[in-house]
Amino acid sequence: MPLQIGQSLNNRYRIVNLLGQGGFGAVYRAWDVNLQRPCALKENLETSPEAQHQFQREAFLLSKLSHPNLPRVTDYFFIPGQGQYLVMDFVEGEDLQEKLDRQGPLLEAQVLPWISQVCQALSYLHSQSPPVVHRDLKPSNIRITPDDKAMVVDFGIAKIYDPSLKTTIGARAVTPGYSPPEQYGQGTTDTRSDVYALGATLYTLLTGQKPLESVFRIASQPLTSPRQLNPAIAPSTESIILKAMELGPETRFQAISDLQNAITRPVGIPLSTEKVSQVSMLGTSTSPPVSLPITPATAPQSRSPWIWLGIGGALVAGCLLLVVTGAYFRSQSGPDPTARPTRTAKTQSGLPTSMPVIDTALPTTGIPDNPPATLPVSALPATVPATAPLPTNVPGTWRCSAR
């Protein structure tokens, strides 16, 4: 029997109004006369000794939780022959079912940040030891505060996950459209059950329609795709919803954190901006990437032509200097009639085995004291990439080979 407005429970909580109810309980807004503040009071009408022990155990665990997207559990009590009660902070605002009824399908850009906050709260619940499974996620159990914060409420049927136990009492608390197949009958629920329910919640918020009940889908009735109901939904978001709502737990997202990552970085996202910019800066150069170890942080591609022009110009100037110096010394000493032509046979390294006439130590006479400022020797690289094309023949008397 529903509680009456003005009725007091446990000599402390006065009922203000009914917020919602189901087959095995209800949620009321109440007033804490001791602390003089509003609270939410969850009633569970299951009064068997087993249910009472389970509910009390869960209330003790929930009272230790602290998360910005979860209300605090502040009290628990049992009234023999009537029910058991969980007292939580009252969350101001509007739940998502109320928003949906008032506005119709909600915008994706508005909904996804809220769902991401719900994921954070669920990840916190699932990380407890043992994990806490909410087991009744739906739009009416997500409230949006005046400062746009999503709060997960209604912990009355939350269950501690025990893989050795089957779902018994909780199976009767299914919500058609949001409960996965394993929550019916004697199935075993775990944290992936919340993944299904959150995917179904997202389906409803974006399409305006509650999804087909999971057990009917097993009977070969296909789920209408979200984009068929609302073409404005992004394909990546649709794929997230459908994966979260897979009938088999093993084919869904295996953790709420996986679902959150998919929401914040949708399926099919292109290369990051950083990677795209690095690829575009390579230009159309035909040299293999390994021979051009240039990164945007040290040598932008736009400077590379000037570097190679400087290297090539320095090599040409060096060869011309050798030619002019050789001609100068020949004019001073004259030809040697006894000199025999010398072949410039190359070694495997490409350098001549003998250098005729010219001494490798160049005299300082005739060389400018101040080399041109446009070709500073220190600007040349210590090593030249092996694949860079460099001039091998310079017009004149002598051949200048370089690598």
3-state secondary structure of 29: strand
Is 359 a known active-site residue? no
Catalytic residue among 136, 147, 154, 359, which?
136
Dihedral in degrees, nearest 10, Cα atoms 50, 54, 55, 60: 140
Based on its alpha-carbon atoms, the radius of gyration of the chain, rounded to whole angstroms, reads: 39
Question: What is d(CA 267, CA 38) in angstroms, rounded to the nearest whole number?
Answer: 42
Q: Locate tokens 């009390």: which residue?
A: 56
Q: Which helix (H) or strand (E) holds 126?
A: helix 108-126
Is 322 within 8 Å of 358 (Cβ atoms)?
yes
Phi, psi for residue 62 in degrees, rounded to 5? -65, -30
Question: What is d(CA 20, CA 27) in angstroms, rounded to the nearest whole number?
Answer: 5
Any residues with CB less than 8 A from the CB of 139 and at least 6 apart, and which? 95, 96, 97, 99, 100, 201, 204, 205
Question: What is d(CA 394, CA 326) in angstroms, rounded to the nearest whole number?
Answer: 15
DSSP letters for 32-101:
ETTTTEEEEEEEE---SHHHHHHHHHHHHHHTT---TTSPPEEEEEEETTTEEEEEEEPPPSEEHHHHHH
Is 137 within 8 Å of 201 (Cβ atoms)?
yes
Active site residues: 136
